[in-house]
Structure 1
Amino acid sequence: MSFKSRTGKIFSALTLTLSLLGAPIAQADTTLRIGNQGEPASLDPHFLSGDWENRIAGDLFMGLTTEDPEGNAIPGAAESWTVSDDGLVYTFKIRDHKWSDGQPVTAQDFEYAMRRILLPETAAEYASLLYIIKNGEELNTGKAKPEDLGVHALDDKTLEITLKGPAPFLISMLTHYTAFPVPKHIVEKYGKDWTKKEHIATNGPYKLVEWLPNTHVKVTKNEQFWDTANVKIDNVIFYPQEDAAALIKRMRAGEIDCIYKFPSGQIDWLRQNMPEETKIAPYLGTYYYPINTKRAPFTDKRIRQALSMAIDREIIMDKVLKTGELPAYSMVPPGTSNYKEPSYVTWKSMPMADRITKAKELMKEAGYGDGKNLKVQLRYNTDDNHKRIAIAVAQMWKKIGVETELFNSEVKVHYAELKQGNFEVARAGWVADYNDPQNFLFLLESTSKSLNYGNYDNPDYDKLMEEAYLESDLKKRAQIMGKAEAIAMEDAPIIPIYYYVSKNLVSTKIKGWKDAINDTHRTRWLSIEN
């Protein structure tokens, strides 16, 4: 018998003996493989804008607050905080923890990060989310200095944030990647290259192993994370593949453990063949079509209104999606916190036949009809659902004399074009970063820059939203935002299509997955049972 054979038998016998005696046996590393359906634009939290990027960033970094398994805000990098009587000053105590390179995470890292994302030269697309901070907008528009921002490190472990007005959503908002810290000592040393594998340091439960563009992003457990002892999954691989049907095949072959946003067209097959893996839950988000209000003829409100009225949302829900979505007639979804009810379009209850008649009248008033058709390019990013909805919408628009050209591109390119205003009508979606109507309505503020895809600009709307920022009475605040939403729904810079439900496929071996209103499922709460 060879030495190799003898040692193999000895090891097998020893393993059996130890198991019988109850001794622990080392387990192989666990790896979670995610069909993420999107290539990240960056790993720098200041240059992200999509939920597919949020899944990666949320494993690598942790803000002052973070999400529990159900998506609720809980203490994160801050172990506690206090709030002044007027609700304008929050004082956070930073917990003792380190960056993945062993350097302490300090209040100065948060101060540096929030100043950095708001600097005009950073050109962060999501900076306006932090405008609630005192002098946030002023810094972002070059009217204030970094030291004027209402974020100050009082010492290494104490961070003070001063707001320009009461913000009942602040603790929830701070879970978002715009409020994540960045390692000041590394960013200042390496500049834009700080996120490269050989440089990057993170304070979340995972750290970067490799990023092969258009192939995968791999992260591994961060031994410096303050709660690493309770992180059960060792590695996570995010695959950017956007072909959901191909991902489902890979999942059935055992190559993928979780797929975000399966196509609704697969629902009947999934319910028959993968019922335990199919997860559908309420989701605080709106699927909509922004319209480029700066490009003729869409500068005409009547055309925008007609395009919206002609879409039969109920048919899309019942015949195209079939997964429990609700037809949308507002930007803010029903059930959003701190809001009584959305301000719906005035024609919400109008019968469909009457809506078509009215839409034709509006088109005629705008100079179309009698053989003169409006030609529209409708853009959407690669996804079976988006394609099927776009085809249905194009058929509906035919009824009011609109000829539609469909244009498809991958998600990264699609959103880049939207942010540059290179579109006429396009598909977009928004999922709440925090449960408050302001997180939907700020998208239509003229100051929201690249997130206000259609370049909507109404001074009355902006003024009301500014009033809402400063109002401390929640009832009055809701009324003010309701008036603002009513103005926007009348102006029709967007076409709401439906309110989301989350649609994910989750392997039965993944434990700890819970329904979350924001569809955020951080890996630190999950485990794998093989």
Structure 2
Amino acid sequence: MKRRRWHAAIRRAATAALLAATAHAAADTLERGNGPEPSTLDAHRCQEVACGNVLRDLYEGLVAESAEGRLVPGMAERWEVSDDGRHYRFHLREGLRWSDGTPLDAHAVVASFRRAFEPATAAPFAQALEMIEHAPAIQRGELPPERLGVHAPDARTVAFRLTRSAPLPALLTLPIAFPVRVDRARALGAEHTRPGNLVSNGAYRLVAWTPQASLTLERNPAFHDAANVRIPRVRFHVTEDASSELKRFAAGGLDITEVVPPQPLAGLRARFGEQLRIAPYLGSFWLGLNLERPPFRDNPALREALSLAIDRDILTRHVTALGEQPAYGIVPPGIDGHAPAALPWADMSQSERVALARQRYREAGYGDDRPLTVELRYNTSTPHRRLALAVAAMWRETLGVRTRLRNEEWRVFVQNRRQRAITEAFRGGWIMDVEDPRSLLANFVGDTALNWSGYRDPDFEALLAAADAAPDAAARSALLREAEARLLDAHAVIPLYYYTSKHLVAPRVGGWQANPLDRHPTRHLDLDGGAAR
């Protein structure tokens, strides 16, 4: 008995010491929920929010963003563009350094861009910069990387040649445009992203990574604006389960959550008050359908039946329930100067949609005597599970569809979705990279890595090409709207809702600003609630 009491006392003392150490560390550490484990910290291979959040602390591109989401100088102190919009020159700040203290010049930036388009890199976001001269041919292995339309006239100038006009400064805020240290990537392979190996250039540097737990970053003294980085340390926590994340926030273990789990908004506001931050977000959520294999290949009637059977008003009121809007298109509203397309039955009542769904289901060859059995795949997440259950119930009630739900860890899910080998229906959606409808629609082009449904339509791609050559913004917008309408008419995906950004932010965190792309680099935040800014 005495021995047990002695061991219990030791455990209590050890726990108290650990809690005290944690509390002490938290005084100068921002604790951020970040959703799933990042699939990579190789900036050229990042394709999701979880890695993008971390990379925006570790790196800075030629162009950066303010807390409000405005474009501001990054590595480049200024830039200019030619009258035809096809030639850019970026002038670097003097004295730029990598996180290990070595100089960072224009030649290193050019080397990084070349590496991004090498076939071996297999950068999933390469299509975002396909307008750089020779970029697609290099990625296909048809030209050497040295032919890329990016060069350094001198050590402080990076020049770009484009095949069409494009909002290049905005695109250069994407991780694929961050300067990867090419010599280390070549020498160390995948290990170049590990603590002690990763050399970056942003406000923070990587000091620890515990898989499926957290990543710890410390302020980078070599960063050109280090004097204005107010938070010494930030820890990104893996928080795949939104309900557990909320509990950790409520207990004081997190300063910021990545999401908020679905529950009544009034109750959340009553409990958390101004700590609950909900804002418009340029993104849309859909269910993808694999068009390369049965049951959805060559069966648009079946695809439309499943879309019609889903009551989006119920989903957004009672399942997501945090300000999301029902979606009947792919491109979200709110883009200046652009009116998105919508499904032709968007204005029908749900009872009218149900009747049409049953008609399309019969036309597709299914019914009570031959019900569809389909697998709906999603990554591990409380909100995604709730939504999948609701969709499966609607399909069964309206059409008699039998749905097998399959959840997967994020990396496995991403790989299966991309390969299009075993997927049938799956969780999709996209947060816009820039405020341009083309950046979202381009995800449905040919064999690009982000075309998870395998949608192929030469006329759709011709409309995108025509938009690229449009004489003015109005003509371009009209062509992009027509392209979206064609995508919707094919029912390649099932749009469900338009996103809102939703976070819990502790009172001690200052500097948080809502912005349409929901990007919040730690360098813009502080831990004094915004005092003395």
- Please give the TM-score of this superposition, normalised by the length of structure 2: 0.91
Closer, same or farther: CA 365–61 of 1 in aligned 2, 3 Å? same
- Corresponding position of 1:380: 378
Q: Which of 88, 91, 99 is the matching residue for 2:89?
A: 91
Distance, in Å, in 2 between the alignment partners of 1:109 and 1:81 is: 18
TM-fit CA distance, 1:477:
1.3
CA distance in 2, matches of 1:350, 1:143: 50
Q: 2:434 corresponds to which residue?
A: 434
Cα distance change of structure 1 residues 338 and 203 upon mapping to structure 2, 3 Å threshold? farther
Aligned letter for 2:100? D
In structure 2, the partner of 1:474 is: 473
Tell me if structure 1 keeps the 8 A contact 2:288–2:452. yes
| Bigger shift: residues 53-62 or 182-191 | 182-191
Identity within the alignment, % = 39
How many pairs were matched up?
A: 501
1:16 matched residue in structure 2: none
TM-superposed CA distance for 1:308, in Å, is 0.9
Amino acid at match of 2:302: I
For 2:26 and 2:328, locate their aligned partners in 1 and report how far apart those are by CA, in whole Å. 51
Cross-structure match for 2:511: 512
| 1:156–1:188 CA distance, 2 compared to 1 (3 A) | farther
Conserved 8 A contact 2:115-2:182: no
Among candidates 45, 70, 73, match of residue 71 of structure 2: 73
Q: Matched residues in 2 for 1:485 and 1:404: separation? A: 28
Q: Is the 8 A contact 1:338 1:436 kept in 2?
A: no
Q: Distance in 1 between matches of 2:393 and 2:208?
A: 45
Per the TM alignment, residue 460 of structure 1 is displaced from its structure 2 partner at its CA by 0.8
Secondary structure of the structure 1 residue equivalent to 2:414: helix
Structure 1 pair 370/431, CA: closer, same or farther in 2 (3 Å)? same
Q: Residues of 2 paired with 1:411 and 1:456: CA distance?
A: 23
Q: Which amino acid aligns with 2:120?
A: E
Query: CA shift at 1:29, angstroms?
Result: 6.4
Gaps of 5+ in 2: 1-24
Seen in structure 2, the aligned counterparts of structure 1 residues 257 and 166 have a Cα distance that, compared at 3 Å, is: same
* Equivalent-residue separation in structure 2 for 1:337 and 1:150 (angstroms): 30
1:2-58 alpha-carbon deviations (Å, 9 max, x no partner): xxxxxxxxxxxxxxxxxxxxxxxxx99611011111101211101211111111000
Asked if 1:411 corresponds to 2:414, the answer is: no
Cα distance in 1 between the residues matched to 2:26 and 2:236: 20
Tell me the equivalent position of 1:155: 154
2:281 alignment partner in structure 1: 283
- 1:154 corresponds to which letter in structure 2? P
Question: For the Cα contact (< 8 Å) 1:419–1:453, is it kept in 2?
Answer: yes
TM superposition shift of 1:91? 0.4
Q: 2:483 & 2:137 partners in 1: Cα distance?
A: 23
Which residue of structure 1 aligns with residue 456 of structure 2? 457
- 1:152 Cα offset (Å): 0.9
Does the residue aligned with 2:274 lie in a helix, a strand or coil?
coil
What are the Cα deviations for residues 461-507 of structure 1, in whole angstroms up to 9, with x where unaligned? 11211222233521111111111111100001111100000010100
Q: Tell me the secondary structure at the aligned position of residue 429 of structure 2.
A: strand
Question: Which letter maps to 2:435?
Answer: N
The answer to whether the Cα contact below 8 Å between 1:165 and 1:471 also exists between their aligned partners in 2 is no
User: CA-to-partner distance for each residue in 1:344-369, whole Å, 9 max, x for gaps?
Assistant: 11111122112111111111111111
Gaps of 5+ in 1: 1-26
One-letter amino acid of the counterpart of residue 152, structure 2: A
Indicate the larger mover: 495-504 or 128-137.
128-137
What root-mean-square deviation, in Å, do the aligned CA atoms of Structure 1 and Structure 2 show? Answer: 1.6
Q: Which residue in 1 is equivalent to 2:493?
A: 494
- Which shifted more, 101-110 or 489-498? 101-110
Amino acid at match of 1:436: D
2:448 is paired with a residue of what secondary structure? helix
What's the secondary structure of 2:334's corresponding residue? coil
Q: Deviations over 1:305-338 (max 9, x none)?
A: 1111111101111122221111111110012245
Q: Deviations over 1:393-444 (max 9, x none)?
A: 1121121231111111222222221112131111122111111001110111
Following superposition, the deviation at residue 69 of structure 1 comes to 0.4
Q: Quick one: which amino acid aligns to residue 164 of structure 2?
A: G
Question: Which amino acid in the other structure matches residue 366 of structure 1?
Answer: A
Give the whole-Å Cα distance in 2 for the aligned partners of 1:363 and 1:499.
26
Whether the 8 Å contact between 1:132 and 1:163 is mirrored in structure 2 is: yes
- Which residue type is aligned with residue 53 of structure 1? C
For the residue of structure 2 that corresponds to 1:260, the secondary structure is coil
Counterpart in the other structure of 2:326: 327
Contact 2:295-2:424 within 8 A present in 1 as well: no
Amino acid at match of 2:36: G
1:314 matched to 2:316: no
- Separation in structure 1 between the aligned mates of residue 455 and residue 195 of structure 2, nearest angstrom: 39
Verify the 8 A CA contact 1:95 1:157 in the aligned structure 2: yes
What code does the residue aligned with 2:218 have? T
Distance 1:270 1:104 in 2: 49
Residues 470 and 108 (structure 1), Cα distance of their counterparts in 2 relative to 1, 3 Å cut: farther
- Counterpart AA for 1:500: Y
Q: Distance in 2 between matches of 1:244 and 1:479?
A: 39
What's 1:446 paired with?
446
Distance between the aligned counterparts of 1:33 and 1:369, measured in 2? 52
- Asked if residue 186 in structure 1 is aligned to residue 184 in structure 2, the reply is yes
Of 393, 396, 400 in structure 2, the residue corresponding to residue 395 of structure 1 is 393
Residues 292 and 298, structure 1, Cα contact 8 Å, conserved in 2: yes
Residue 130 (structure 1) aligns with: 129
Tell me, what secondary structure is at the counterpart of 2:72? Answer: strand
Work out whether residues 264 and 321 of structure 2, in 8 Å CA contact, stay in contact via their aligned partners in 1: no
- Match in the other structure for 2:244: 246
* Alpha carbons of structure 1 residues 354 and 109: separation in structure 2 relative to 1, 3 Å: same
Q: Distance in 1 between matches of 2:357 and 2:136?
A: 39
Of the three residues 350, 353, 356, the one matched with 1:352 is: 350
How far apart, CA to CA, are the structure 1 residues paired with 2:192 and 2:319? 44
Secondary structure of the equivalent of 2:221?
A: coil
Residue of structure 1 in register with 2:120 after alignment = 121
2:35, 2:194 → 1: CA distance? Answer: 22
Q: CA deviation at 1:266?
A: 5.9
